[in-house]
Structure 1
Amino acid sequence: MRLVSRESGRVLATDARWLGGFWARGRGWLARPPAPTVALGIPLTEGERLHTIGMRFALTIAYCDSHDCVLCVLTLPPFRIAPRVPGAAVAWELVAGGLEGVAVGEMLACD
């Protein structure tokens, strides 16, 4: 799958992977090399926080609501815990800089 911006049609990642299971979520980027073409999608529960503890590189994260609308985009350096994002239902994680130009209110989609 690819992660794309619905407004512009711009491809953000050519390899979008959904991490729905417990073990897949726990592994996340920990055992993966930084790859600018990969996006990891993580379903969130209300108030859940993401982190980069144990990682060697920074991530850029797009938090989206249940309608795939971007609520917040932030870059998280290694060994940090992200703030809570109210209303977020999914987070898309890319290597830092991978979401450059993505704005709050933009719609993301996988195809």
Structure 2
Amino acid sequence: MEMWELIKRLLGGATSNQSFSPAIVAGAYYRELKSAGVAQLPPSDQFSEFADSISLELEAIGLIENAANARNGLAMLNCKRRTAFGDELYESLQGRNVVAFFEGMHAEIDSGEIRRLLHQLG
């Protein structure tokens, strides 16, 4: 499991037009890893808890934020959206080998470190 792949997926799920559920994002990623034959995965509930804690960190450093329910009449829970900083990171993580770069640098979820690495990529 790659933490930065999970972060990319969590950022992808943070749009103001849908409910934000780290457990659902983690569950989909977990199933992909299992079907790909990745060994030594933690139990799925621990994987979901890890995704929840990461999403709190993403919010704490300003990558995602609460969003108003933009779709009147539809009930959405825990609506989040990416900030400009979150968009910048998400777009970068879409690039070839960028997730591997962040993993290889042992990057922490820290705004200064992320900005430094984004600057290196640019």
TM value normalised by structure 1: 0.27
TM value normalised by structure 2: 0.26
Q: Which has the higher strand share?
A: 1
| Larger CA Rg, structure 1 vs 2 | 2
